[in-house]
Structure 1
Amino acid sequence: MDGYRGLTALIESAWNELNGSDTVHRDHCLDVVGDVLETGRLAQADVERAVERLVTVALSEQRYTVRESALHAVSTASTHYELPYRVVEPLVAGLEGFEPLLLAYVLSVLSCTHDQAALPVVERSLHHPHAEVRWEAAEAVHELLWSQESARGGAA
């Protein structure tokens, strides 16, 4: 098995083990997916499929630790790949239900898309009651405005 097939096999194995496992094992499965994403060696289509599944877990899982592991893996992917907004946009629907730490992950991921459609969503969190969320929202707004300015050929 070549290196690439080995990476995709690790992800598939993690997905298969994720169903019906206890919380600790589910966290481990998601950590494996995050570790593979961290290599930066996957094709864009495979990354997008993995992130879509991670987003689904983050939105549907009841256990905080599993949702955190899923969002951590999405965040990892967002630093190693250019994620299209459409892939992470479903997180916007769950924005109000995320705990502060999880919301910080989501805001960071949205900013990494560099898609201006994320800007009004991120700006809503500038007045969040938790300081860490406000800080992450300000960073995300800065990143989105910088990418907008860069796209126009200037500097923010």
Structure 2
Amino acid sequence: MDGYQGLTALIESAWEELNASDAGRRDLCLDVVSDVLETGRLTPDDAERAVGHLVTVALSDESYPVRESALHAACTASTHYELPYRVVEPLAVGANGFEPLLLDYVLTILGSTHDQAALPIVERFLHHPHPEVREEAAEAVNELRWSQKPTETAQ
């Protein structure tokens, strides 16, 4: 087994164990996934699949620490891979259901997509009651606006 196969095997093993474990063990499984994503050595397709799975866990797990670990791992991926908005869009749809600390992760992830489709969702949080969320929303808006490509003029 080469290094790449070892990384993908680690992720697959983590997904399998994630389905049948207690919250503490699920949290550790997500740490493994985060560590693999941090290497930056997965293909874009494998990274997108992993992040898609993390998004599902973040939206569905009943354990706060597990959801936080899933979002942390997705944030880690967003610093090493260019994630398309479509992969993380379910986070935008479910953003109102996250606690403030978890919402910070969501806003960071959405901003890192550099996709203008995320801008209206992120802008909603500029007036959030928690100052940390407002600050993260402002940073995400800045990142999205900075990455906005000028419109091409017709010739």
Q: TM-score, normalised by structure 2?
A: 0.96
How big is each residue's C-alpha offset from its partner over 1:47-94, in whole Å with a ceiling of 9 and x where there is no partner? Answer: 011000000000001110000000000000000000000000011121
Work out the CA distance in 2 between the residues paired with 1:133 and 1:6.
Answer: 37
C-alpha root-mean-square deviation of aligned residues, in Å? 0.9
Partner of residue 152, structure 1: 150
Aligned residues: 151
Deviation at residue 23 of structure 1 after TM alignment: 1.1
Work out the CA distance in 2 between the residues paired with 1:13 and 1:50.
Answer: 12
Work out the CA distance in 1 between the residues paired with 2:150 and 2:2.
Answer: 42
Partner of residue 127, structure 2: 127
Report percent identity of matched pairs.
75
Partner of residue 14, structure 1: 14
3-state SS of paired residue (1:89): helix
- 1:36 maps to 2:23: no
Structure 1: runs of 5+ lacking an equivalent: none
Structure 1 runs of 4+ aligned residues shifted over 6 Å read none
Work out the CA distance in 1 between the residues paired with 2:95 and 2:62.
Answer: 15
Q: How does 1:105-144 map to 2 (within 5 A)?
A: 105-144=105-144
How big is each residue's C-alpha offset from its partner over 1:75-115, in whole Å with a ceiling of 9 and x where there is no partner? Answer: 00000000000000011121111000100000000000000
**One-letter identity of the residue aligned with 2:72:** H
Work out the CA distance in 1 between the residues paired with 2:95 and 2:141.
Answer: 16
Structure 2: runs of 5+ lacking an equivalent: none
Work out the CA distance in 2 between the residues paired with 1:63 and 1:23.
Answer: 6
